[in-house]
Amino acid sequence: MRGAVRTVATPTLEREKIQALEGLRGVMAAWVMLGHVSLTFDLGVPLIDQNTLPVDVFIILSGFVIFRLIDLKREPYPQYLARRAFRIFPLYLLVLLASAALLWIQLQAMTDIPFQSTRNLGRLTLARAAIDHLPQHLLAHLPLFQGLVPDRFLPLGAYAILGQSWSVSMEWQFYIVAPLAFAALARRRWWIVLAVAIAALVFIRVHVNDAFLGAKVLHFALGGGSYFLINRCPPARIPVAVLVLIGITVLAAWPGSRARFATPGVAGGAILFGLSGPRDGDHGRHLCAQQAGTGRGELYARAARFYAGGDAADLDGHVPPCRKAGYPTGHARRCTPFTDSGAQRPFHRS
């Protein structure tokens, strides 16, 4: 029709979801769930028990996705931070307060459990620590700053009350500094400053706790660096960028066991492979994997119903290697409906 105005659909972040990453998230979520089952019942399943590895992949993906969001949105810092806060805090505070109210029930449930495993004993220890210092833990948890309080001041602060909040605290710290890191990476003269800042975070982390950003800053850097390599790096600098990412991969994996060496490499490789392939390819894009990636909260909810007294609230599978302490989640089945649907939301943003 003459005179009709043509409208062009503007792509949004939602429409531009990277299906390869959704599929990868789904596989990692299934790994975490199976690891929880194995560790709860002390099954000793090789590799599956190492469910901290998929958590590392989630963190690497978070670095990639947040840098992509910052690059595409181009919004003022206060608006960006407020939007991130409203995405996390409402549900987080609800779950936190519910978990605190159920601590005594959880303690009794974990004491009376008919079988014990290393993970369950760790949860019992965390429940007692949370009850013994509940006001201090709440004060640190409410603003999501438990990752900034050293263990010597607040024992087990990263994992008390709500086990998976260690990752949410770390994610919140990353949200705060990510725009600054993105701006520094986009300006070559600031690269040395960025490198020094990352090194300082890595050095300081041994004096804080496992929820401090420095514990996983290299994983975030690998994800963010991968985004720059794919989307912003001039062709002439690609070999140098690849070498830098390989160096970050080695450094990120160095403190852990040999198996952990594969984690950043696999995740970084998956990002590069999934995004460099043809648009209509099927690498990591199987419908079942994509649905698991976008709906992994429901996956955890089903797992909670499978093992009584399990740890559905612990969505991230992290266990302090020096303590083998688990998470205070004996009350998981009582708060599953609002715990599982949102506790992973910080990682679901492409």
User: Sorting pLDDT into bands at 50, 70 and 90, what band is 221?
Assistant: very high
Q: Please provide the average confidence, as pLDDT, over all residues in the chain.
A: 73
User: Sorting pLDDT into bands at 50, 70 and 90, what band is 241?
Assistant: low
Q: How far apart, in whole angstroms, are the C-alpha atoms of residue 25 and residue 14?
A: 16
Site of tokens 């990277």: 18
Provide CB contacts within 8 A for 105, sequence distance 6+.
Answer: 330, 331, 334
Alpha carbon dihedral 271, 273, 277, 282, in 10-degree steps, equals: -80
Residues 157-213: pLDDT tens digits? 999 999 889 999 999 999 999 999 999 998 889 989 999 999 999 999 989 999 999
- Quick one: average pLDDT of 322-345? 36
120-129, 186-195, 225-234: the lowest-pLDDT one: 225-234
The pLDDT value given to residue 250: 66
Say which residue, 44 or 282, is predicted with more confidence.
Answer: 44
Task: Please say if the pLDDT value at position 13 is more than 60.
Answer: no
pTM over 0.85: no
The pLDDT value given to residue 49: 84
Q: How far apart, in whole angstroms, are the C-alpha atoms of residue 207 and residue 185?
A: 27
Residues 81-100: pLDDT tens digits? 999 999 999 999 999 999 99
